[in-house]
Structure formats: C-alpha cells, structure tokens
Amino acid sequence: MNAFIDVIRLEEAMRAEGKIIRRDFMSPEEREWLDKDIEDSYFLANGDYEVPYYERGEWVKEFGQKP
C-alpha cells in the first residue's frame, strides 16, 4: 500500500507543477489496473529499488549537475 501512497504524492506534486500525466487520460478501469500493477511490482521487489545513477550524488560529483 506504500507504493500506492507514493504514486498519489507524486501525482499531486506533478499536478502542482502544472504537468499533465498520462493517467489523466485513462479510464477508471485502466487506472485501477495501473494501480494494481504498481503494487504488484513493489511487492515483487520486496520494497527494494535502485536509484538511477543520474539521480545519485555521484553523478553531480562527476558531471557538476543533474541532467
């Protein structure tokens, strides 16, 4: 359920920035399945995830700024 809450927070942040996301154009059924896919992916990964290299501090140290 944590993954779902994170998705909701991310959507709120993106909308606050004025961004339109693909989910806005999905039917309610498609949104429901997307939520289930996100939850399943999170639970299959056992809560572990890897932060992409370009989002880490090492990238900034090497290149000076994030892409």
Please write the tens of the pLDDT for every residue from 29-66. Answer: 998 898 888 888 878 877 677 777 877 888 888 888 77
Q: Using CA atoms, how far apart are residues 11 and 55, in angstroms rounded to an integer? A: 19
Q: What is the pLDDT of residue 44?
A: 80
Question: Are 44 and 37 spatial neighbours (Cβ–Cβ below 8 Å)?
Answer: no
Provide the terminal-to-terminal Cα distance of the chain, rounded to the nearest Å. Answer: 31
DSSP letters spanning the chain: -HHHHHHHHHHHHHHHTT---GGGGS-HHHHHHHHHHHHHHHHHTTT-----GGGSHHHHHHHSS--
